[in-house]
Structure 1
Amino acid sequence: MSKKELKRYKVIRQWIEGYITGKQAAELLSLSLRQVYRLKKRVLEEDENGVIHK
Protein backbone atom coordinates (compact mmCIF):
# COMPACT_ATOMS: atom_id res chain seq x y z
CA MET A 1 0.00 0.00 0.00
CA SER A 2 1.44 3.39 -0.99
CA LYS A 3 1.56 6.40 1.33
CA LYS A 4 -1.28 8.01 -0.63
CA GLU A 5 -3.47 4.92 -0.29
CA LEU A 6 -2.66 4.67 3.42
CA LYS A 7 -3.69 8.31 3.93
CA ARG A 8 -6.95 7.69 2.06
CA TYR A 9 -7.68 4.65 4.22
CA LYS A 10 -6.96 6.48 7.48
CA VAL A 11 -9.13 9.48 6.55
CA ILE A 12 -12.04 7.30 5.41
CA ARG A 13 -11.78 5.25 8.64
CA GLN A 14 -11.94 8.49 10.66
CA TRP A 15 -15.10 9.41 8.78
CA ILE A 16 -16.67 5.98 9.32
CA GLU A 17 -15.84 6.17 13.04
CA GLY A 18 -17.42 9.63 13.29
CA TYR A 19 -14.33 11.73 14.01
CA ILE A 20 -14.74 13.84 10.86
CA THR A 21 -17.50 14.56 8.33
CA GLY A 22 -17.67 13.50 4.70
CA LYS A 23 -17.02 17.07 3.63
CA GLN A 24 -13.91 17.23 5.82
CA ALA A 25 -12.71 13.91 4.39
CA ALA A 26 -13.16 15.26 0.86
CA GLU A 27 -11.19 18.39 1.71
CA LEU A 28 -8.37 16.44 3.39
CA LEU A 29 -8.03 14.16 0.37
CA SER A 30 -8.63 16.89 -2.25
CA LEU A 31 -11.48 14.84 -3.72
CA SER A 32 -15.12 15.54 -4.44
CA LEU A 33 -17.75 14.54 -1.90
CA ARG A 34 -19.11 12.03 -4.42
CA GLN A 35 -15.70 10.36 -4.75
CA VAL A 36 -15.21 10.01 -0.98
CA TYR A 37 -18.65 8.37 -0.74
CA ARG A 38 -17.46 5.85 -3.35
CA LEU A 39 -14.26 5.27 -1.36
CA LYS A 40 -16.26 4.83 1.85
CA LYS A 41 -18.45 2.21 0.21
CA ARG A 42 -15.40 0.29 -1.03
CA VAL A 43 -13.70 0.47 2.39
CA LEU A 44 -16.84 -0.85 4.07
CA GLU A 45 -17.02 -3.71 1.55
CA GLU A 46 -13.31 -4.57 1.17
CA ASP A 47 -11.61 -2.85 4.15
CA GLU A 48 -8.01 -1.86 3.28
CA ASN A 49 -8.23 -3.40 -0.18
CA GLY A 50 -10.93 -0.86 -1.05
CA VAL A 51 -8.40 1.95 -1.41
CA ILE A 52 -5.67 0.00 -3.21
CA HIS A 53 -5.35 0.91 -6.88
CA LYS A 54 -6.17 -2.06 -9.09
Structure 2
Amino acid sequence: MDTDMAASVPADQKADPALVASAALDAVASGAPELLADDLTRTVKRNLSAPATT
Protein backbone atom coordinates (compact mmCIF):
# COMPACT_ATOMS: atom_id res chain seq x y z
CA MET A 1 0.00 0.00 0.00
CA ASP A 2 1.19 3.52 -0.66
CA THR A 3 1.59 5.55 2.49
CA ASP A 4 4.25 8.03 3.62
CA MET A 5 5.62 5.41 6.01
CA ALA A 6 6.00 2.82 3.22
CA ALA A 7 7.21 5.20 0.51
CA SER A 8 10.73 3.74 0.51
CA VAL A 9 9.56 0.12 0.20
CA PRO A 10 9.77 -1.20 -3.37
CA ALA A 11 6.36 -1.87 -4.93
CA ASP A 12 7.07 -5.59 -5.36
CA GLN A 13 7.52 -5.92 -1.59
CA LYS A 14 4.20 -4.31 -0.69
CA ALA A 15 1.02 -6.24 0.02
CA ASP A 16 -1.58 -6.09 -2.73
CA PRO A 17 -4.39 -3.88 -1.38
CA ALA A 18 -7.03 -6.08 -3.07
CA LEU A 19 -5.72 -9.16 -1.25
CA VAL A 20 -5.59 -7.32 2.07
CA ALA A 21 -9.16 -6.06 1.59
CA SER A 22 -10.37 -9.54 0.69
CA ALA A 23 -8.65 -11.06 3.72
CA ALA A 24 -10.12 -8.33 5.93
CA LEU A 25 -13.65 -9.01 4.69
CA ASP A 26 -13.16 -12.73 5.24
CA ALA A 27 -11.89 -12.07 8.76
CA VAL A 28 -14.86 -9.87 9.61
CA ALA A 29 -17.30 -12.39 8.16
CA SER A 30 -15.77 -15.22 10.19
CA GLY A 31 -15.55 -13.20 13.40
CA ALA A 32 -11.77 -13.42 13.56
CA PRO A 33 -10.33 -11.27 16.38
CA GLU A 34 -7.39 -10.13 14.24
CA LEU A 35 -6.03 -10.27 10.72
CA LEU A 36 -2.44 -11.03 9.82
CA ALA A 37 -2.64 -10.17 6.14
CA ASP A 38 0.90 -10.78 4.91
CA ASP A 39 4.10 -12.68 5.63
CA LEU A 40 5.80 -9.73 7.33
CA THR A 41 2.87 -9.26 9.70
CA ARG A 42 2.78 -12.97 10.54
CA THR A 43 6.55 -12.95 11.18
CA VAL A 44 6.32 -9.94 13.48
CA LYS A 45 3.44 -11.51 15.42
CA ARG A 46 5.31 -14.81 15.75
CA ASN A 47 8.48 -13.05 16.95
CA LEU A 48 6.58 -10.91 19.45
CA SER A 49 5.01 -14.06 20.86
CA ALA A 50 8.33 -15.94 21.08
CA PRO A 51 10.21 -16.27 24.37
CA ALA A 52 12.83 -13.60 24.97
CA THR A 53 16.40 -14.60 24.20
CA THR A 54 19.57 -13.28 25.74
Report the TM-score when normalising by structure 1: 0.32
Q: Pick the structure with greater CA Rg.
A: 2
User: Which structure is higher in helix share?
Assistant: 1
Higher RCO structure (Cα 8 Å, ≥6 apart):
1
